[in-house]
């Protein structure tokens, strides 16, 4: 029996609204940085980027507009050589993408300790700035002045804003309820289940042709990336009984292996690889 042919373009464009700038971020993290493995990837010619965006059903004009948006906000840098335009990641983007790659592509991204770190901003030098800093570092607030983050094995203690008090807490039922609400765990679980429903059938049979494999890979990464980066990797006892995150990650890893040979052939033919 042949592989059930999922239409990745139809799946992608069913999103409302489709954020093309976010899709381009996915392309740079996956295709250009090779899943975060290439620390300093070369610039990519606009024509090659547009070829990939066309595979995904994105019109060249819309793609160019969103590339310019990412240049304006510092995510990308634009270079010109004669009449040709090239795009590359800024240094800050490369650092952020490399950090995120383990959480996206890793088989087991982190091991929870079962305890939770607290950051109390009651005495912070500037509460508003402390909140922004903590949220950017992955903390979530469960009250106006108390932020929380799950502990993970081997993870160094993060530096806290001035005047912030650090504490630890056990996973009581009340704390687990607050954590699940702060990270919207039930909504995240529904997202993982939608991913399983959409992509599980694609593993049967032979891999698709290079173009289809590349489109399918990009859309799968795009969907899974946004789930994985929202996932705080909570202890098992803090998760819903029907938690789908582990199964979804296993499917994603298997899907990447399934699509890699054909998709890498397409990427190499379009100068995404040396």
User: Euclidean distance between the first and final Cα of the chain, in Å?
Assistant: 36
Q: What is the C-alpha separation between 212 and 9, in angstroms, rounded? A: 10
What is residue 186's predicted lDDT score, i.e. its pLDDT?
97
How many CA atoms does the CB half-sphere of 231 hold within 13 Å?
30
* Per-domain boundaries in the chain: 1-110+183-274, 112-182
* Architecture of the domain made up of 1-110+183-274: Orthogonal Bundle (1.10)
Residues with pLDDT less than 50, the chain: 1-3
Biggest alpha carbon–alpha carbon distance for the chain = 65
Kindly report, residue by residue over 80-128, the tens digit of the pLDDT: 998 899 999 999 999 999 889 989 998 877 789 999 999 999 999 999 9
Angle (deg, nearest 10), helices 46-55 and 210-228: 90
Checking DSSP bridges between strand 76-81 and strand 84-89, what pairing results, if any?
Answer: antiparallel
- The pTM (predicted TM-score) of the whole model is 0.91
Structure tokens at 143: 């009250």
């Amino acid at each position: 029996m042949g592989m059930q042919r999922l239409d990745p373009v139809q799946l992608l464009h069913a999103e409302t609204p489709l954020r093309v700038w976010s899709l381009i971020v996915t392309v740079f993290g996956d295709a250009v940085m090779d899943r975060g493995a290439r620390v300093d990837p070369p610039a990519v010619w606009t024509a090659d980027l547009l070829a990939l965006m066309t595979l995904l059903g994105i019109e060249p004009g819309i793609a160019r507009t969103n590339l310019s948006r990412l240049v304006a906000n510092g995510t990308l840098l634009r270079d010109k050589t004669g009449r040709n335009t090239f795009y590359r990641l800024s240094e800050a983007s490369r650092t952020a993408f490399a950090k995120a790659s383990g959480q996206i592509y890793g088989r087991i991204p982190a091991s929870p300790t079962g305890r939770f770190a607290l950051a109390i901003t009651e005495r912070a030098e500037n509460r508003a700035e402390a909140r922004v800093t903590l949220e950017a570092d992955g903390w979530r607030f469960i009250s106006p002045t108390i932020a929380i983050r799950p502990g993970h094995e081997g993870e160094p203690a993060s530096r806290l804003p001035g005047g912030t008090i650090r504490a630890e807490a056990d996973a009581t039922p009340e704390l687990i309820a607050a954590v699940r609400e702060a990270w919207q765990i039930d909504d995240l679980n529904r997202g993982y289940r939608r991913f399983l429903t959409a992509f599980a059938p694609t593993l049967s049979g032979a891999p698709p042709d290079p173009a289809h494999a590349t489109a399918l890979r990009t859309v799968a990464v795009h969907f899974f990336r946004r789930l994985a980066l929202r996932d705080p990797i909570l202890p098992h006892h803090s998760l819903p009984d029907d938690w789908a995150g582990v199964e979804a990650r296993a499917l994603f890893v298997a899907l990447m292996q399934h699509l890699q040979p054909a998709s890498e052939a397409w990427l190499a033919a379009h100068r995404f690889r040396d």
